[in-house]
């Protein structure tokens, strides 16, 4: 999940295995001043970086904080 500005048109996560996953964007939520993006990662893969774009122009690329992969649930 990512929180972005209202001018963002696409957010893509790159997994630890190199798969690009496009995140679905919510409508702009004025009460939060943001648009939210989320996606389910492929089985056994974890997001390592996010690419934020507006109309095909890359605005930002950054690594994500490390966590166990695959994630440990309930443990």
Q: List Cα–Cα distances, 67 to 8, 63, 72, in angstroms.
A: 26, 12, 9
Distance of CA 58 to the CA centre of its chain: 14
Q: What digits encode the pLDDT tens for the residues 10-36?
A: 999 999 899 999 999 999 999 999 999
Tokens of 11: 């957010």
Half-sphere exposure of 58 (CA within 13 A, CB side): 7
**In this predicted model, what pLDDT tens digit does every residue of 30-73 receive, in sequence order?**
999 999 999 999 988 888 889 999 999 999 998 877 766 766 66
Query: For the chain, what is the largest distance between any 2 Cα atoms, rounded to a whole number of angstroms?
Result: 41
**Domain map (residue ranges) of the chain:** 2-63
């Amino acid at each position: 999940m990512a929180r972005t500005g209202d001018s963002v048109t696409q957010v893509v996560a790159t997994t630890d295995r190199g798969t690009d996953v496009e995140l679905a964007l919510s409508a702009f939520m004025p009460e939060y001043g943001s648009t939210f993006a989320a996606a389910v990662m492929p089985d056994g893969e974890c997001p390592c970086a996010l690419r934020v774009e507006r109309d095909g122009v890359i605005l930002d690329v950054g690594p994500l904080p490390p966590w166990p992969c695959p994630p440990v649930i309930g443990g």
